[in-house]
Amino acid sequence: MHTLFVILNYVSVFIMMGCVVLVATHESSKMQKLALMVCTLLCVCCLGFLIKSEATTADTLIVGQKLVYATVTHGMFLMLLFILEYCRFSIPKAVRWICHGINLFISVSVLTLDHHGLFYVKYWAEDRGGYAELMKEYGPIHTVAVAVFAIY
């Protein structure tokens, strides 16, 4: 089952890279640019999942976790913008900048989580049948990130 998951992840990464190249080579509308950014972020997110699935140490698991969380916050917001653009709705620029600022704050917190205890209070790897699993105690910024995910 694990091998199947890894193979599906590799296939999805290559398909998404193909979509990114396809969209990038055409003259782009606003929606195509949003779709390109979403596909690029999803590709990086899948790479994070691949790293996590092949990891054997807590440090490697954290690298994968960083890629996933750093891309998911922006990816979800860009998907929301894509859907709003498709439905011909718009949100004020001030709200967009606030959301981008919150996403940037969460991403920086994730990318520096090994230097502070605000995202994860502590974390460690446990062996689960030959595969490492990241065990963690959540900090306050993780709660903010989950709330932002729910809002999007």
Q: Please state the pTM of the whole predicted model.
A: 0.79
Centroid of chain to Cα 30: 22
In this structure, are residues 47 and 67 in contact, taking their beta carbons and an 8 Å threshold?
A: yes
Task: Give, in order, the Cα–Cα distances in Å from 46 to each of 52, 113, 147.
Answer: 10, 20, 22
Q: Per residue in 9-37, pLDDT tens?
A: 788 878 877 877 777 777 778 888 888 88
State the chain's mean pLDDT as an integer.
86
**H runs (alpha helix) in 1-57:** 2-24, 30-54
Q: Are 136 and 129 in contact (CB under 8 A)?
A: no
Q: What is the pLDDT of residues 97-126, one digit of tens each?
A: 999 999 999 999 998 988 888 889 988 888
Q: How far apart are CA 138 and CA 119, in angstroms?
A: 6
Q: Which residue's structure tokens are 């600022």? A: 101
